[in-house]
Structure 1
Amino acid sequence: VTLGSVARFFCAVSGSAVISWELNQRSLPLDSDRITVLPNGVLQIHDVTMRDAGNYRCLATNMASRVRSREAELTIIPASGPRPLMKPHIIAGPQNISAGLRQSVVLECLAEGNPRPLVSWSRADSKPIDVSGARVLGNGNLIISAVKAHHSGTYLCRATTPGTRNYSIAPGNLAVLVPPTLVEKPESQTRPRAGTARFSCQAEGTPVPRITWFKNGQMIHSNGRTKMYNNKLVITQIIPEDDAFYQCQAENSQGSVVSTSRLIVVLSEDRPSAPRNIHAETISSSAILLAWERPQYNADKVIAYSIHYMKSEGLNNEEYQAVIGNDTTNHIVDDLEPARNYTFYIVAYMPMGASRMSEQVTQHTLEDVPLRTPELSLTSRSPTDILVSWQPLPPKLSRGRVSAYRLSYRTATDEQVISVELPVPSENCTQYLLQGLQPDTIYLIRMSASTRVGWSQPSAWNSHRTPKTSSATVPPAPNLELEPLNCTSVTVRWHPAPSDAVLQGYKLSFHPDGQSEDSLLQLPPHDHQHAITGLNPRVKYHVKLLAFSANGDGYQAHHTVNTPGCPSAPNRRLAALPSPDHIHATANSSSAVSLSWGRPAFSSGKHVSYSVRYGPLSPSDAATVRYVQISEQTVTVTGLRPNTRYEFAVRLHMDQMSSPWSASVYQRTLLEAPSSPPRSVRVSLIEDDTALVSWKQPDQPDLSVTHYTVLYASQSSWLAGEWQVLQREGEPGLPWNFWNIMEFLKGLFQTFESQGILYFFVQISASNQEGDGPFSSTVELRLTSETHLGKNNPRHAEKTAFIDGLYHMDEKPMTGVIVGVCIALSCIFLCIFILLTKSTTHRNSASSKMIGQVRNDVMRSAASSANQQQAENAEVLLPMTRTHFIDAKGGTNLMINHAGPIMSDAQSKRKKWSMLNNNQKSNGNKSKVSNRDKCF
């Protein structure tokens, strides 16, 4: 230092110690007012002289040990003449200090000047300095002992040249750390079920205390019904389990304080019980159908229901509520996020209070197409490749698990697009190398992402020029990272890739999406970070960076980044983005509907796209909800089911934002004329002059049939093309794949007896408002002379077979019946003989009884088998009436029920030998089924 100026040494130690100084390894005398030692270890020497020169060191001493520092030399530079005048200058001003209550603080102020300046202190807030416990040490250092909270503030050290207005100021902040104290404590409350409780807790302290809430000693997390904000605890939809003690704890680095309050939940005696059997069913990617049953007790007093739902995963999830009337027990909750789990519960309300919470149910919304695609980063490693990399989409944008990416590219001068589909395995796919490209060529690259629902709209084209082919070694592309700093700034960071090239610098360029490149910024080679400022909020920017050397420009790294919106100036378009309106749906055919809508006026001149959601109106068909991405205002949805009511909704996408779904419109597809004939046509003779014809609807789902046309004719009339016509009304409520329909054809024998006709033919077709369907194949009914002679013995056709396009009655040969009966009797006698041989004399009578029982069972089984065979031939018949049908004319005792004709006892006896033969076959089949069951 210069002779006559000031010198300063600082010694810092860890722990509590007393600091002293030594000069040339001897204790430094403090008898002069020129020398000041501060409690924080600072040594100040004013008006230094030649004898102050030497080696200085500090000595730290406490009860445990004594430590000396290294020596520091003070050299005095002699003055060449009188000291010149110098304005005041503060060498060491006050530092920002944090101190606890009742601690001592040192505010240093060391100034020099010629003449020596005067040092004074003041507060920045113009408040007077509390002189109690405050003193000045040395030439202007302020010492405050046992600081209190009111000592906090900014202190100003002012060095002034005497007799002038020349001065210098240095500020320093003193923060007194104060333990927290509660200025507002939570109060105990009494609330009814389903009410709301609010607890308030305000605390003071330095630093600002952190408020934590506890329930019966357990920390409370903000979630669902419990919310914490502005140091308040709010509990909505109170339930009996909320009756507890609640603690508010205020805590900072200086300590903590706790206050306790009580919440008492009042229950009504005649309150309703909770809603029962809560069931949730997914309808679409944004809607879930909730259904329940009314409370078991006091259900007649319920005036409303409240539905509560929130996301199932994560903390701090907000709970939403929907209130509906008591006239329904189902509700569709919409505006949900796709591919998310939601938890639901329901509360019933009455004038005296609310019920308990119902059981909670969790349901998952369906996936949706991704809202947008990842931002692409393009880098070339050689003149013939481009490395495309991206970051996985967050769940809010992917709206489900991304199953594949589609990468499309082309040259700037070629319209032919090459696409590569990249399936995503269990781990995310984040890069792909395009190879075999042309050097020094501009390529346009874009990407689209897919979930199980479908593909998103492709991203905008990103351009990248492949490097030139050169024998010289140029620097590789740097590893580039972009991070939005705020709504108008982006931080660019990079790391040079390993290379032998000597870098001379970097070239950085950026431009908004859709605009030409700006001028290059050239940066020095030692820079690895740069801030781009002056950007526009909510705009996509392209940033390109390359390194260059003496051999030329290196390979380029190309990334994109979106600037966020400014909090101080929120984007009003986000809140004002409306849904499409004037939506019209028109049915074009039985499988297509045309949809059109209006475009918002504010979106003119901007690129917009739309999502169309459609599906059957019935909640049971929720899995068939589909989505279409389109940029036009009209679309024709195809592949629909005939005569089905569909629901349509449209959503607008613009500037990476999406509007809510529009109001739904409904349209039913047109009817479809039958394209196939009725199925399973059967004809059975049930009386001498009456036949029963049965059939199933055509094999077309969702087909509406208004009537059936039955054509029947004798053999001669059939050959002449002359048919009798009978119409039967359709059954619109019947499932197309289950029920049989039947009709009686009466008076057949009177019609054809005079002609001696033995064959009878039937054809059936289905019709509706759109037209007539084709006729079925011709079914033949054979009428024998035995049929005419046995008028009092009604017959039933046992079996039909399809031969040469016709169904024929299967007449079983008598020889087969006799052989079958003989085999059955032989088996029975053989079993009796074995049983008699093995039985003892004691059981002879029992054996005889068993033989009789076996015979009865065999005969009973044969009769049952015959009836069963009749039911199989007739399949499932839809009766004209649900009760048994009996011919009132007295010609027969035949009965028909929902399973078809039932044989009388006389018929059963006439056919018992045939039935016994059939029973043997039936028993054989049952044995196979039994063995199969055991295998499982």
Structure 2
Amino acid sequence: MEKSYQAAQAFSGDLSFLQEPADAVAIRHQVLILHCLAEGQQPISISWYKNGEPLPPSSYIQQLLNGSLWIRNFQKRQRNGTDEGEYSCAAQNRYGRLLSRKARVQLAYLSRFHRNPQPMAVAEGSVARFQCLTTAVPKATIIWERNRTELVTADPRFTLLPDGILQISGVTKDDVGVYRCLATNPANSRYSDEAWLTLTGSAHLSHQEPVILSGPQNLTLTVHQTAILECIATGNPRPIVSWSRLDGRSIGVEGIQVLGNGNLMISDVSVKHSGVYVCAANRPGTRVRRTAQGMLLVQAPPEFIAWPQSATYAPGDNASFSCVVEGVPQPTLAWLKNGKYVEVRENTRLSDNNRTLTILRVTYSDEALYQCIAENSAGTNQASARLAISLPQDAPKLPEKVIAFPITSTAIQVAWNRPSPADTDGIIGYVLHIRRAEDPSTQETQEALSKMTFKHKLMNLEPSTKYALFLRVYSPVGISRDSGTIFVTTRDIVPKTPDFSVTTVNDTSIRIDWEGAPPSSTIQGYKLEYRKMPCTSFQGTQILPRNQTSFIYYDLEPSSLYQIRLVAFGNSGDGNDTHRFVSLRRSGKVVPDPSPDSEEEHKPTLGLIFGVCVGLACPVLCLLLLFLLYWKRHLCKRKTNEGCGHNVQEEKTDQAIEEERDRNSEEPTELLSVNPTNVAEADSSLGRDATRVKEDQSHEPPHPAV
């Protein structure tokens, strides 16, 4: 079968990174922002990873709307580890998933000095050298002091090298004193120990052979950095310092500079500067010399010479991608498919040291974004390409107007338009693809649906989890394109209202206590209210924050019976409500639920009158007595209802309740989704819950008011 493919530029909707996270140094307790920006067909979702694992949720780490990662308070040590590590981001749209380069994030620090300046006694006119060595990220700035006064480095006799080295040529009596260094970076500042510089004799010394006090050290740098190779020598007469390469190649002149009396500086190093450098101290007019050598190794991060190209293939074709990379040391190559490492299977081949990826007899399941990942000790790089499968002309049409929305904390409803009868006849069915959006390592789930199904409920999902899903149509001639990825998040778990107790403080006050919400609870706050029996509506509504565990009602009516109701609420709505009944009679006990109409109180009276009537056999008189009794009960009922006024607080409207929830909640933006309490539903549950009344601890001393 002949291949059919198109060039990469044909894919205008391909996914690619405009900005990837870069290596960074963070300051303790300060903000750090890592950027990740991708372009391609919308919608594009961004997710973050740390050390190859999905970034765990944190109260001080947030993902901004533009995809960047915002770390509010960078930490070194915490219970879950450190914020230091390798960070990467992943971008995904309908065509697949891409993984960015790894960015190394370090916390700024400044160690104690590994090496402090040592006392030196030198002859006048000779050379002196001090060094202070510390480990710092980022590199520390070194300032030298003599007698605790900053050294004036404009004097050409003083040479300061970046590694904390101070060289003094032609030492004089004015140079005698106490020397120390100050190391400073964004993390800290430290002073080294002090060291004396003294003179030992006259400046006019006898003959002295050349001696190299300090020669070049082995260095490993990355391209574009600056290399400084030290070489300081003494002798009489003063030796001449020269440089050469051990391999005989010329050092060159571009970017080369001599510091002080013999230190070699190479600016903007490249791979060609790698080699062994030899420092020679020569006695003038003779062939006497001393040498020292050090190796300079320059590394280069991976750089692509050839990139994989996007292409479209017909089903059954063989597809291949290739990439060529250079770098020092030689980069290793790996291939990813939608952000996961490609596994060598029956139809997958890797060859030429992983430079070429071949996929045999491609199918629709091979459609994806493929990445060539190059990595060495100097860094990482990536290049991507898209593999598309061409569809036959009579392939089924895309599902139209696919929507999805959460219905519970573990279920999502998916629906789409019903196709025309002509299109329905050629359909075998639908396949719904769903996976966790934030974790690409989770396996995708597929559910097959009949062709007469136009809505489906996905069950057994995780609460408060973001899912990505799309729909495809299957027919005898092939598969449609996917409907486009839809992202939907399941609801939070409905909070469970804790049990509570009621204590009578006095004849007109009661105290309500309940257990506090655990840290992992979804409770955002509580709604507390009461009603005076036999009133039908609740009043005295209080919206309380989640950290409150008690409340006191004052100015209630003495010798009255009240029902107390507590409801916990969260982002997903109101939880179950719990009830208690309390009597403000002198006994001060929690009592069982009485009948609102006090029918039990009147039933004996009715029976007695009925018995008298039968005994007296006076029907007319009996009817008259029954009528009078009924009228009396009616008047008492009206009087009782009129007494159900809000003698403590005015009853709050639903709008006022919502406003108070917003004020008290620790997460005001999330409380906007909380629904007002449905009083009618609460009243319907009263009959069920009133039988589960417990005795109140009314005889215990009252708790102090909150």
When the two structures are superposed, what TM-score results if normalisation uses the length of structure 2? 0.33
Looking at both structures, which has the greater relative contact order when contacts are Cα pairs under 8 Å and sequence separation is at least 6?
2
Greater Rg by CA: 1
